[in-house]
Each structure stands twice: as structure tokens, then as C-alpha cells.
Structure 1
Amino acid sequence: MNFIKAWFIDPDNKTACRFLVVDAYNEPKPLSYYKRNGFIELFSAEEQEKESTNLPAEYELKTRLLYFDLIVLANK
């Protein structure tokens, strides 16, 4: 994960990316991995994510959207 983050902020990388976005399995192990690596949930609650993606309230989310803001690393 550190390699990917570093690759996107390298001055020779011309992709112009600011955010890394993942669609992680909605299970404790994958979610904790991404959170340990600085990723933040795009929606603070599953209900918000369901509403945003037009899913019924009773639907069980299989994945959650998380993001990492690369500007944090670029400013170091």
C-alpha cells in the first residue's frame, strides 16, 4: 500500500491523481486493513451509502467505498 501511495505522489508520475478510492469488502478484516492505511469511509453510515447508490434500505451492502487523500503525503 505504501508503494502505491508513494508512486502516485512521485514527481515523475504525471497521472495527476489526488484520491485513491477502493470498494472494499464490507467485512471487518478488509475494512480494518484500509483504515490502518489511512483510508476513510466515503459515507459515514451504510444507510447514506445505500441512499446515494439508490439501494433499498433492507439491502445488505457487500462493499464499502473508502478513500485516501494523497495531498496528506504530498505536503510532507
Structure 2
Amino acid sequence: MDFIKSWFIDSQNKTGCRYIIVDSYNDPIPLEYYKKNGFDLMFSTENQEKEYTHSKAEKLSTRLMYFDLIRFRV
């Protein structure tokens, strides 16, 4: 994960990327993996995410998460 983050902030990289976005499985193991690597949930609750995505599912199978590369650069 650190390799991917460092690749995006390398001075030779011209992608103009600010955020890394993932669609993590809504399961404790992958969610904890991404949290341990500095990712945050885009929505604080599943209900907020369901409303935004217009999901009719009882439980979301995935959760949107993001990492702000500016934090990695510091």
C-alpha cells in the first residue's frame, strides 16, 4: 500500500492525483486493513452511504473509503 501511495506523490508522476478511492468489502478484515493504512470512510454511517448511492440493500456489501495523499506527503 505504501508503494502505491509513494508512486502517486513521486515528483516524476504527472497524474495530478490527490485522493486514492477504494470500494472495500463491508467486512471487518478488509475495513480494518484500509483503516490501518490511513483510509477513512467517505460516509460516517451506512445509512448515509445508502442514501447517497440510492441503495435499496439491507446491508451494503461494500463501503467507500479514501486516502488523502497530502497526508502521506507530510
Check whether TM > 0.5.
yes
Matches of 1:73 and 1:40, distance apart in 2? 13
Determine whether 1:22 maps to 2:27: no
Matches of 2:7 and 2:21, distance apart in 1? 15
Q: Which amino acid aligns with 1:44?
A: S
Matches of 2:51 and 2:72, distance apart in 1? 32
Report what 2:61 is aligned to.
Answer: 62
Identity of aligned residues (%): 58
5+ residue gaps in structure 2? none
Q: Which amino acid aligns with 1:64?
A: R
For residues 28-64 of structure 1, what are the alpha-carbon distances to aligned partners after superposition, in whole Å with 9 as ceiling and x for unaligned?
Answer: 00000000000000000000000000112x5220000
3-state DSSP of counterpart to 1:51: helix
Over 3 Å off, 4+ runs: none
3-state DSSP of counterpart to 1:12: coil
Report what 1:34 is aligned to.
Answer: 34
3-state DSSP of counterpart to 2:14: coil
Report what 1:13 is aligned to.
Answer: 13
RMSD after superposition: 0.9
